[in-house]
Amino acid sequence: MTTSTSPAVELRGLTKRFGGVLANDAVTLRVQRGVLHGIVGENGAGKSTAMKMLYGIYQPDAGEIWVKGEKKRWRSPSDPIACGIGMVHQHFMLAGPDTALDNIIVGVEPGRFGLVNRRHARRRLQAVAEQYGLEVDLDKKVEELPVGVQQRVEILKLLFREADILILDEPTAVLTPQETTALFRNLRRLRDQGKTILLITHKLKEVIDFTDRVTVFRAGKVAGECETAKTNPQELADLMVGRIVSLRVDVAPARHSKEQALEVAGLFVRREGSQQNRLADVNFQVQRGEIVGIAGVEGNGQTELLQALLHPAEPACRHAGTVKVLEQDVSNWRSREIRALGVGLIPEDRHSEALLLDRPLMENFVLGLQRQPAFASRGWLRMNNISQAAARAVTDYDVRPPDPALPIASFSGGNQQKLIIAREFERQPKILIAAQPTRGVDVGAIEFIHRRLVRARDGGAGVLLVSTELDEILTLADRILVLYEGRIVAQFSRGEATEAQIGLKMGGG
């Protein structure tokens, strides 16, 4: 029987398997109405799987889903939507060339006889936007809107469909600190007007600052739940990982040399088929023994910068200017030649740029190293050496499970990232380019990765850290450059600027 005191959502003993992998093991979770409820856990802990069962993307193998006091079994993806459940995915599901209005009403266009009543839709949307403080220019194309406003469009899509249970998956991954604050101000307003919000995030500061309650997943189970006001980031991190975790790596002052690891001068980049510069007059240096951080909201030229540094000879990267690696002009070199100088790379997208997902860990470990004398002789791979080196990397870098024969797709994102770092350190790089090195990884893996980056710096490598995570930049970088709309708009030494000051520059202020 439905009552006003029934939980908005209740999962009872929810279990889900994918082949031999137990993703959720008898998960029980209650979320009260009108709360902002945080969902945290390590990669592979089962939090996203549980939320996808609630949203109807997956069917549970066992257990029950209750919504507003009624037992539910989803027969199609439209069932949870009809029940008032909506989800904003980490990667927005918007059509860039279409207007905000068209994106919001697609699939539920009000009208008769197949004709869209846009005037009625606009009136409804304006009323909803005003009620919840989510103002959007409905006539602008989505691709012309800032990322923070695009996220408002996604939320308006749910409210237009009268959702009162909202699931948000890593909603601040591409936002500036100011946009993050605005988002949570809007979420609190939604909560205060009776909406229930489930927030999947790995940012413990956001959980502490903005949520009412928090549930911790570990190894497919619920490891704990509490009022947010009665916990702290350290307690949550330890519960997520099952051990004491260091949330902040101690970084001693840099002892860099005068030797340039990387020098970029007057760099302009256009994408193929475009007349617009994606990078404009970019100039900076990275010395050996220092970490230089590139801060910026995603989409402000970071991808083009990496392309120009590592693939300058490719026709898709039309560039002007000079790039020097270890004092050699590599402006028109091929990637393999640049890497042979001693360049390590942690790429933006590990799946498409660094891994062969259907191949075993051992083969992925040697990817790019297969010509080194330790692993090849007279055109033949030295499989015994490769096997021993991969096993050593698995142990040294705590890759789990410790099985080099498993396909790399069987490993969590954090463990895939550890393998990539192990492989790049096998090169003993003189310069390491780390692009979004902790994207999508859990707090335990973040601690490990940060320590390895600092160790590379202290060992004399120059490190270029490209990250949208401002906390990461502030923790690790000896110098911080802010990239906005393809230009470096500010530079700070460690400790010179606050998070708010850097965030303002990231947003063009």
Q: Phi and psi of 462, rounded to 5°?
A: -85, 135
Average pLDDT over residues 191-196: 93
Average pLDDT over residues 151-180: 84
pLDDT band, very low/low/confident/very high, at 196 (cuts 50, 70, 90): very high
Q: Which of 45-54, 247-256, 429-438 has the lowest mean pLDDT?
A: 247-256
| 253 located within any domain | no
| 246 located within any domain | no
Average pLDDT over residues 184-209: 91
Residue 193 pLDDT > 70:
yes
pLDDT 10s digits, 376-401: 998 899 999 999 999 999 998 888 78
CB-neighbour burial class of residue 345 (10 A; exposed 0-12, middle 13-18, buried 19+): buried
CB-neighbour burial class of residue 246 (10 A; exposed 0-12, middle 13-18, buried 19+): middle
Residue 422 pLDDT > 50:
yes
Full residue range of the structural domain in which residue 15 is found:
9-241
Q: Are both 73 and 147 inside the same structural domain?
A: yes
Q: Are both 59 and 181 inside the same structural domain?
A: yes
Residue 2 pLDDT > 60:
no
**Location of structure tokens 């949520």:** 211
Q: Are both 264 and 237 inside the same structural domain?
A: no
pLDDT band, very low/low/confident/very high, at 147 (cuts 50, 70, 90): confident
Q: What pLDDT shows up at residue 129?
A: 86
Residue 209 pLDDT > 70:
yes
Residue 442 pLDDT > 80:
no
AA identity, residue 112: R
Q: What pLDDT shows up at residue 352?
A: 84
Q: Are both 325 and 368 inside the same structural domain?
A: yes
| 226 located within any domain | yes
Q: What pLDDT shows up at residue 315?
A: 65
| 255 located within any domain | no
Question: What is the DSSP code string of 139-170?
Answer: TSBGGGS-HHHHHHHHHHHHHHTT--EEEEES
CA–CA distance, 405 with 361 (Å, rounded to integer): 6
User: Among 241, 271, 294, which residue terminates a domain?
Assistant: 241
Q: Are both 29 and 151 inside the same structural domain?
A: yes
Burial 265-275 (b: 16+ CB within 10 A, else e): eebbbbeeeee
| 251 located within any domain | no
Q: Which of 55-69, 261-275, 336-350 has the lowest mean pLDDT?
A: 261-275
Query: Of 292, 290, 317, which Cα lies nearest the Cα of 303?
Result: 317
pLDDT 10s digits, 305-344: 999 999 887 766 677 899 999 999 999 899 999 999 999 9
Residue 441 pLDDT > 80:
no
pLDDT band, very low/low/confident/very high, at 4 (cuts 50, 70, 90): low
Q: What pLDDT shows up at residue 175?
A: 73
CA end-to-end distance (rounded Å), the chain = 53
Average pLDDT over residues 433-455: 87
AA identity, residue 340: A
pLDDT 10s digits, 369-381: 988 889 999 889 9
- The secondary element (H helix, E strand) that includes residue 129 is helix 118-132
Q: What pLDDT shows up at residue 1?
A: 43
| 180 located within any domain | yes
Residue 47 pLDDT > 90:
no
Do residues 50 and 30 lie in contact, with contact meaning Cβ atoms separated by under 8 Å? Answer: no
Mean pLDDT of the chain: 88
CATH number assigned to the domain comprising residue 343: 3.40.50.300
Count of domains for the chain: 2
Q: Are both 36 and 128 inside the same structural domain?
A: yes
pLDDT 10s digits, 82-138: 999 998 886 678 888 899 998 988 877 555 555 567 888 888 888 888 888 888 899
